[in-house]
C-alpha cells in the first residue's frame, strides 16, 4: 500500500448520495471546511443515482400540507410527528427551489400552466448536478474511499474517521470537529438497484461508538422485480394484474396492499405480472418517467403491457424501511457527541412512522436531514476541543481477537440466509425469527474472533459483512420486542395492532445488544424521553 493519507477538516461527511451532498452544502455554507468520503464515486453511487424518484414536495398551502401529512399516518402506525413532518415539508420546498437555481437542475414545465414541475427528479442528472455544486463551493471529495471506522477522543466524542482509498490502494485518516454519517441504509447485498454500496456501514460505525437506534423493526421492505432483474420500481406494479403459475389471477395480490399474497405464493410456485391496467396515456408517461424500468423488457423482447413476465421479491432493508440511527435534536445529532446522521442511515419514523416506500418521503428526508445535520455539525465543530489522542473504534472485521480464518464471503452468505428469505424477514413469525436471530448471534461471535483482512479490499469486504450481520441482529431483536403488527412490521403470530404498544422501539449494542421503548414524540421537540 501507499503511505497513509492524513487530513484534517471541520466537518467530515461519510457518504455520497443526496443526504451526504446536502450535508456538505449546508456545512460549507455555515463556514466549515468540508471533506466528503464516498464508498463509490459521488454522483453515481447509491440508490438515488440510477433512476428517477418522486419527492415529497408540497406547496406551503394549509390544506395541501394537511393532506400530505395525513396520507401515510395510519399506514405508519401513528408514530410520525407533525412537528418533524412540517419541518421536512418546509426544508424540502426550499431545497427543491434551490436545486433549480443554485443546483442548476433542469426541472420540466407543466405543458398547460408552464409552471415548473418539482415533485420529482431524475437520479442520474440530480446527482450529477449535486456533485458539480459541491465542487463549485469547495468541498473536497475523496471518491472510492469507504470509511472503515470512526475516530474518538478520550471523552468518547467522534472526531473523524479512517478508511481506505481503493483505487490508490492507500489508507486515509481524517480528523474533524464533527462527522455526518450519510452512508445510506442496508439492503444486505440483495441485488436491488443501486444498493451495492448500502451494506449498513454507517450503522456499524455508529453502534461501535455507542449510538442509539430506533425503529429497526421497520426494516423489512421487499420490492417487486422481474425475475433476475435489479430494477425495483414497485410503484408501476400498481397497474399490474398478478397470476399464478397456472394462469389464474391471484386475488388480493398487489404492490401496495397484497404484496404478502405474492410472497406466500412464491414459496410454492412462480408468479407472473402484466401491466394491463395502464392505458395508452399512462404507458407513455411511465416510459418517460422511468426509462430504465423498460430497458430490461425491451432487451428481452417483452411488452410488459400485453405480455406476462415472471416476478420475484428483493429485500431492501433499511433503504426502504424507516429504521435507523436515532436523532435526538433538530440538528439530527445522535446520542454520541460529534456524530450527526442523515438520510437512510437515520430513522425516518419522525415523518413516516413505521411505513414508507420508494422516493417521496425518503427523498425529502435525505435532503432535509442532510441540511440540518450538515449545519449542526458545522456549529459543533466550531466549539469542539482540538488536539488529544484519537483512537479507532472499529473492531469486528478489522481487529479480530483470533486468527483470520473466516472470510467475508462466508459471513455474508450465512447472514443472507437469515435475512433475505421473505418467509423469515417479510412473513414474520416468532418461531422463525428466534432461530434466525440465534444463528446471527453465533455468526457475530465467530466474526469477532475470526473475520478480518490483510489488504485494503479484504478489510472493506470484512467490514461490510460485519455491518450486514450487525444490522440484522438489531432488526430482529427489535422485531421480537414488538409483539404486534404495526406499520411494515407484520407478525404472523401477533396479527393485530396493540394500542398498548404505541411506542418507539429503541436498540443498540453489538456484543450485548439491547432494546427499550420510548413514547411517540408529540411535544414539538425531537428529544426522546
Give tens-digit pLDDT for 174-223: 999 999 999 999 999 999 999 999 999 999 999 999 999 999 999 999 99
- Buried/exposed code over 468-491 (b: 16+ C-beta within 10 A; e: otherwise): bbbbbbbbbbbbbbbebbbbbbbb
Nearest to 320 by CA among 277, 359, 365, 375: 359
Q: What angle do CA 349, 353, 357 make, to 5 degrees?
A: 90
Strands 34-37 and 2-14: parallel
Q: What is the pLDDT of residues 437-478, one digit of tens each?
A: 999 999 999 999 999 998 999 999 999 999 999 999 999 999
Q: Where are the beta strands (DSSP E) in 89-246?
A: 120-122, 140-142, 147-152, 158-165, 170-181, 213-214, 221-226, 241-244
pLDDT over 90 (residue 289): no
pLDDT attached to residue 528: 40
Cα 115 to Cα 108: distance, rounded to the nearest angstrom: 8
pLDDT attached to residue 386: 75
pLDDT attached to residue 426: 94
Cα 244 to Cα 248: distance, rounded to the nearest angstrom: 5
pLDDT attached to residue 522: 63
Cα 394 to Cα 487: distance, rounded to the nearest angstrom: 33
Full DSSP string of 249-276: B-TT--SSS-HHHHHHHHTTS-EEEE-T
Q: What is the pLDDT of residues 370-419, one digit of tens each?
A: 999 999 999 999 998 877 899 999 999 999 999 889 999 999 999 999 99
pLDDT over 80 (residue 152): yes
Q: How far is CA 133 from CA 102, 414, 485, in A?
A: 8, 41, 43
Would you tell me the crossing angle of helices 18-29 and 361-383 to the nearest 10 degrees?
A: 40
pLDDT attached to residue 526: 43
111 pLDDT band, cuts 50/70/90, is confident
358 pLDDT band, cuts 50/70/90, is confident
**C-alpha cell read off for 472:** 440484522
pLDDT attached to residue 359: 79
Per the CB < 8 A criterion, the answer to whether 288 and 455 are in contact is no
Cα 451 to Cα 445: distance, rounded to the nearest angstrom: 10
Q: How far is CA 343 from CA 15, 64, 103, 168, 180, in A?
A: 10, 24, 19, 28, 10
From the CB of residue 463, how many other CB atoms can be counted at a distance below 10 Å? 29
* % of the chain residues with pLDDT over 90: 87
Cα 94 to Cα 97: distance, rounded to the nearest angstrom: 5
- In angstroms, how far is the first alpha carbon of the chain from the final one? 48
Q: How far is CA 347 from CA 355, 386, 476, in A?
A: 11, 30, 16
Q: What is the pLDDT of residues 294-319, one digit of tens each?
A: 999 999 999 999 999 999 999 999 99
pLDDT attached to residue 133: 98
Q: What is the pLDDT of residues 195-208, one digit of tens each?
A: 999 999 999 999 99
112 pLDDT band, cuts 50/70/90, is confident
Q: Which helix (H) or strand (E) holds 434?
A: helix 430-450
Cα 33 to Cα 258: distance, rounded to the nearest angstrom: 49
Q: Which helix (H) or strand (E) holds 340?
A: strand 339-341
Cα 340 to Cα 10: distance, rounded to the nearest angstrom: 13
Nearest to 116 by CA among 127, 105, 125: 105
Q: Average pLDDT of 252-273?
A: 92
Q: What is the pLDDT of residues 121-150, one digit of tens each?
A: 999 999 999 999 999 999 999 999 999 999
pLDDT attached to residue 529: 33
524 pLDDT band, cuts 50/70/90, is very low
pLDDT attached to residue 217: 98
527 pLDDT band, cuts 50/70/90, is very low
288 pLDDT band, cuts 50/70/90, is confident
The pLDDT mean for the chain works out to 94
Residue 508: helix, strand or coil by DSSP? strand
pLDDT attached to residue 257: 79
From the CB of residue 368, how many other CB atoms can be counted at a distance below 10 Å? 27
Cα 116 to Cα 398: distance, rounded to the nearest angstrom: 49
pLDDT attached to residue 525: 43
Amino acid at each position: 500500500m501507499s503511505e497513509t493519507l492524513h487530513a484534517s477538516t471541520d466537518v467530515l461527511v461519510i457518504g455520497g448520495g443526496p443526504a451526504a451532498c446536502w450535508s456538505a452544502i449546508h456545512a460549507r455554507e455555515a463556514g466549515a471546511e468540508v471533506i466528503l468520503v464516498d464508498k463509490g464515486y459521488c454522483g453515481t453511487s447509491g440508490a438515488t443515482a440510477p433512476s428517477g424518484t418522486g419527492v415529497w414536495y408540497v406547496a406551503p398551502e394549509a390544506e395541501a400540507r394537511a393532506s400530505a401529512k395525513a396520507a401515510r399516518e395510519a399506514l405508519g402506525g401513528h408514530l410520525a410527528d407533525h412537528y418533524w413532518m412540517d419541518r421536512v415539508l418546509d426544508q424540502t420546498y426550499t431545497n427543491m427551489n434551490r436545486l433549480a437555481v443554485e443546483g442548476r437542475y433542469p426541472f420540466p414545465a407543466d405543458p398547460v400552466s408552464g409552471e415548473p414541475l418539482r415533485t420529482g427528479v431524475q437520479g442520474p442528472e440530480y446527482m450529477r448536478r449535486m456533485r458539480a455544486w459541491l465542487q463549485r463551493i469547495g468541498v473536497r471529495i475523496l471518491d472510492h474511499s469507504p470509511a472503515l471506522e470512526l475516530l474518538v477522543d478520550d471523552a468518547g466524542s467522534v472526531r473523524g474517521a479512517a478508511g481506505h482509498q481503493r483505487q490508490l490502494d492507500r489508507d486515509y485518516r481524517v480528523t474533524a470537529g464533527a462527522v455526518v454519517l450519510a452512508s445510506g441504509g442496508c439492503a444486505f447485498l440483495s441485488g436491488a438497484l443501486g444498493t451495492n454500496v448500502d451494506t449498513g456501514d454507517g450503522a456499524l460505525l455508529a453502534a461501535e461508538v455507542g449510538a442509539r437506534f430506533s425503529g429497526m423493526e421497520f426494516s423489512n421492505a421487499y420490492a417487486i422485480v422481474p425475475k433476475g432483474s435489479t430494477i425495483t420500481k414497485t410503484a408501476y406494479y400498481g397497474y399490474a394484474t398478478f397470476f399464478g403459475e397456472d394462469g389464474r389471477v391471484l386475488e388480493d395480490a398487489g404492490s401496495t396492499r397484497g404484496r404478502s399474497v405474492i410472497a406466500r405464493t412464491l414459496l410454492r410456485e412462480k408468479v407472473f405480472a402484466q401491466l394491463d391496467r395502464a392505458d395508452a396515456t399512462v404507458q407513455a408517461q411511465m416510459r418517460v418517467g422511468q426509462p430504465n424500468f423498460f430497458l430490461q423488457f425491451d432487451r428481452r423482447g417483452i411488452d410488459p403491457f400485453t405480455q406476462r413476465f415472471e416476478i420475484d421479491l428483493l429485500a431492501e432493508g433499511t433503504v426502504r424501511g424507516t429504521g435507523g440511527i436515532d436523532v435526538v435534536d433538530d440538528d439530527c445529532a445522535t446520542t454520541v457527541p460529534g456524530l450527526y446522521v442523515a438520510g437512510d442511515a437515520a430513522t425516518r419514523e419522525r415523518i413516516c412512522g413505521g411505513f414508507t416506500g420508494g422516493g417521496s418521503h425518503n427523498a425529502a428526508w435525505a435532503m432535509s436531514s442532510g441540511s440540518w445535520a450538515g449545519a449542526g455539525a458545522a456549529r459543533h465543530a466550531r466549539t469542539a476541543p482540538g488536539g488529544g489522542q484519537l483512537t479507532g473504534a472499529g473492531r469486528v472485521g478489522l481487529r479480530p481477537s483470533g486468527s483470520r480464518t473466516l472470510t467475508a464471503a462466508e459471513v455474508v452468505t450465512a447472514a443472507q440466509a437469515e435475512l433475505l428469505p421473505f418467509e423469515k424477514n417479510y412473513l414474520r413469525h416468532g418461531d422463525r425469527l428466534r432461530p434466525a436471530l440465534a444463528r446471527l448471534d453465533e455468526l457475530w461471535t465467530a466474526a469477532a474472533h475470526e473475520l478480518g483482512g490483510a489488504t485494503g479490499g479484504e478489510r472493506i469486504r470484512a467490514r461490510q459483512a460485519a455491518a450486514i450481520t450487525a444490522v440484522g441482529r438489531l432488526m430482529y431483536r427489535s422485531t421480537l420486542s414488538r409483539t404486534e403488527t404495526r406499520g411494515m412490521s407484520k407478525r404472523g403470530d401477533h396479527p393485530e395492532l396493540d394500542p398498548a404498544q404505541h411506542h418507539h422501539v429503541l436498540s443498540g449494542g453489538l456484543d450485548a445488544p439491547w432494546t427499550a421503548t420510548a413514547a411517540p414524540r408529540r411535544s414539538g421537540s425531537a428529544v426522546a424521553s
